[in-house]
Each structure stands twice: as structure tokens, then as C-alpha cells.
């Protein structure tokens, strides 16, 4: 055996190479897709990975059709000098799902860590497994959440979009319910750059704050929440249909550098909530 497989808590699987010359490309995609279906999050650690963006994109293409952005297939996630958006800053990023402002919503997010922050520098990518939350939540809470719809507006260099989404939707291809939510940025982060507009419908004003707090608490509860501390060359594959994800703040000078590719489901999933896209 060239790698070990270990279940993570509360969800996910860590596949770790025993031989540093073993390439991540040599693990069967069919096998990885079985873990993906079952565990929703795969961490591949210690493998030989990719020396160029093109070789990384070519690998991702083996998972399915890549969702191409205005910048191309591979997004470099680093701290920019003078960021115009929180994505390129070093502060925290609230939970959300990818593609929510785009015409198609990718099923797979594939990350490659080119440079991990040091242990004490933060920068964890965080994941919340909304299927676990739905399974554990009392029926009255699910009934309340089912009544809520949210309109999100966001303008940044890659789009100017409005999306309207129920808080709870059916998974695009499975008989499961999932939560779709973009958490409003915490009020105590005054320098959060370019926050989205978030407007709630289907809930009384006097119930809104309590509902949001309970939702927040559920999304961050230890039984559904995993914070991934990056190691150099980690490859992480996350289920964007079931999980929500975000980021913890990191030290400015950490040199954190991830690459991310979006891969569509087959057939591809058209964004059902997109109202405007410019
Ligand atoms: Fe994201």
C-alpha cells in the first residue's frame, strides 16, 4: 500500500502518502469519487503534486468539466497588496457556497496548497457539513428554515450578480436536503472589504435575529464543522453542493498561496437562483 486512509472528525477523509514520490495522479479517480460521495471532503497529503497551473488544471479535468472563470481555470488565492475584495485580503471569509453568483454551480472544489501558513499563522479553510446539520436539527427548526429565502447581491471584478435562494434546498442530484447560506460578515470586523448585500424574506423581523443566531450556531457546531490547517502540497476536494465553506484570518506575511479549480457535475448544474449576472 502506498498510502493510508483515515476518517476525520466530524467528517471527511485524510489520504496520506507513505512514499513521497507517489503522485496524486496515480490514485484512481473512481476510488476518490467513492470517498467523495461518502465523506464530502477529501484531503490528499504528502503526495507528489503539480509544478504548474496547467498540470493542476489537467488533473482537475479528469474529475469532470472545469467551470471556466473570466480569469481562466485556476484561481490563485493570495493576499493582494491593495485588495478590492475580501477574497484577496487576509481577514476571515464567512461561510458561503461557490458559484452562487455565477450561471453554473460547480460540484467539486479542488484546492492545491502551494504555500501553507506556519502553524501559528491561521488561514484554515473551514467547512460546514449541512447534511449533518439537517439530520440532527429538530423538525420545528427545519420547518422554520424552510420558510426563509435570502437575496444576495455582490459586485466584484468577476461579476455583478443577484441571487435569490431558499435557505434549504434539495441537493441537485440526491434525495437529501442541504443548506444554502452566505453568512453576513461579523459586525466586529469593520475593515471587511466589499461585503455582499443580504436580505431575508419569509421570516418576521422580530424572529430574524434569533433565527440567524441559531443557524450560525448550527453551522459552526463541532458535530458538523471542520477547519482544515494547510500543509504544503495538500490537495483538498470538497463537495460544494453539500458543504458550505469559508476561511479563517491569517497573518499578513504568511505567504499563504492556494490554487482552486471548480469542476462541474455531470450534467452541469445551472444556478437556479441567479436573477442578474453582469
Ligand atoms: Fe469560496
Of 239, 215, 78, whose CA–CA distance to 147 is shortest? 215
**239 CA to centre of ligand 1 in angstroms:** 12
CA-CA distance, 69 to 25, in Å (whole number)?
24
The mean pLDDT value for 197-218 works out to 96
State residue 129's pLDDT score: 98
**247 CA to centre of ligand 1 in angstroms:** 9
| For residue 215, pLDDT beyond 90 | yes
- Percent of the chain clearing pLDDT 70 (strictly above): 100
**pLDDT tens for residues 34-72?**
999 999 999 999 999 999 999 999 999 999 999 999 999
Distances (CA, A) of 220 to 196, 245, 269, 277: 20, 11, 27, 30
CA-CA distance, 7 to 16, in Å (whole number)?
11
**180 CA to centre of ligand 1 in angstroms:** 13
- Radius of gyration for the alpha carbons in the chain, expressed in angstroms and rounded: 18
**26 CA to centre of ligand 1 in angstroms:** 27
**155 CA to centre of ligand 1 in angstroms:** 15
State residue 145's pLDDT score: 98
pTM for the full predicted model? 0.97
3-state helix, strand, coil split of the chain in percent (to 5) is: 20, 35, 45
State residue 190's pLDDT score: 75
pLDDT bucket at 248, cuts 50 / 70 / 90: very high
Distances (CA, A) of 185 to 188, 195, 219, 254: 9, 7, 14, 23
**2 CA to centre of ligand 1 in angstroms:** 32
- For the chain, the average pLDDT equals 96
The mean pLDDT value for 173-190 works out to 93
**3-class DSSP assignment, residue 211:** helix
Of 89, 108, 71, whose CA–CA distance to 235 is shortest? 108
**162 CA to centre of ligand 1 in angstroms:** 16
**pLDDT tens for residues 129-163?**
999 999 999 999 999 999 999 999 999 989 899 99
The mean pLDDT value for 226-232 works out to 98
Please give the full DSSP string across 22-82, using - where no structure is assigned: SBGGGS-HHHHHHHHHHHSEEEEESSB--SSHHHHHHHHHTTS-B--BTTBS-EEE---SS
Q: What are phi and psi of 165, to 5 degrees?
A: -140, 135
| For residue 278, pLDDT beyond 90 | no
**13 CA to centre of ligand 1 in angstroms:** 20
Amino acid at each position: 500500500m502506498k498510502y493510508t486512509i483515515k476518517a476525520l472528525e466530524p467528517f471527511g477523509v485524510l489520504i496520506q502518502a507513505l512514499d513521497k514520490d507517489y503522485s496524486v495522479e496515480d490514485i484512481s479517480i473512481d476510488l476518490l469519487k467513492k470517498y467523495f460521495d461518502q465523506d464530502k471532503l477529501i484531503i490528499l497529503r504528502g503526495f507528489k503534486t503539480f509544478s504548474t497551473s496547467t498540470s493542476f488544471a489537467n488533473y482537475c479535468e479528469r474529475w469532470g468539466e472545469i467551470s471556466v472563470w473570466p480569469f481562466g481555470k485556476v484561481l490563485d488565492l493570495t493576499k493582494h497588496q491593495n485588495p478590492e475584495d475580501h477574497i484577496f485580503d487576509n481577514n476571515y471569509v464567512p461561510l458561503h457556497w461557490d458559484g452562487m453568483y455565477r450561471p453554473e454551480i460547480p460540484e467539486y472544489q479542488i484546492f492545491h496548497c502551494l504555500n501553507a501558513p506556519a502553524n501559528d499563522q491561521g488561514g484554515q479553510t473551514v467547512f460546514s457539513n449541512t447534511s449533518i446539520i439537517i439530520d440532527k436539527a429538530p423538525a420545528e427548526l427545519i420547518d422554520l428554515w424552510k420558510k426563509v429565502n435570502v437575496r444576495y447581491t455582490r459586485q466584484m471584478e468577476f461579476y455583478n450578480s443577484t441571487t435569490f435562494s431558499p435557505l434549504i434546498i434539495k441537493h441537485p442530484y440526491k434525495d437529501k436536503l442541504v443548506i444554502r447560506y452566505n453568512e453576513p460578515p461579523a459586525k466586529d470586523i469593520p475593515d471587511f472589504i466589499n461585503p455582499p448585500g443580504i436580505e431575508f424574506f419569509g421570516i418576521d423581523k422580530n424572529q430574524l435575529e434569533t433565527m440567524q443566531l441559531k443557524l450560525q450556531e448550527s453551522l459552526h457546531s463541532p458535530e458538523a464543522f471542520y477547519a482544515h490547517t494547510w500543509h504544503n502540497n495538500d490537495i483538498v476536494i470538497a463537495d460544494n453542493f453539500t458543504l458550505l465553506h469559508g476561511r479563517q484570518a491569517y497573518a499578513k506575511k504568511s505567504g499563504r498561496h492556494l490554487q482552486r479549480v471548480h469542476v462541474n457535475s455531470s450534467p452541469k448544474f445551472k444556478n437556479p437562483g441567479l436573477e442578474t449576472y453582469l
